[in-house]
Structure 1
Amino acid sequence: LGSYFLYVVFAYHQHLLYREYEQLFAPRAHVTGGVPMTA
Structure 2
Amino acid sequence: MLLVTTDFIPGVQFETLGIVTGSTVRAKHMGKDFM
TM-score by length of 1: 0.16
Higher alpha-carbon Rg: 2
TM, length-normalised to structure 2: 0.16
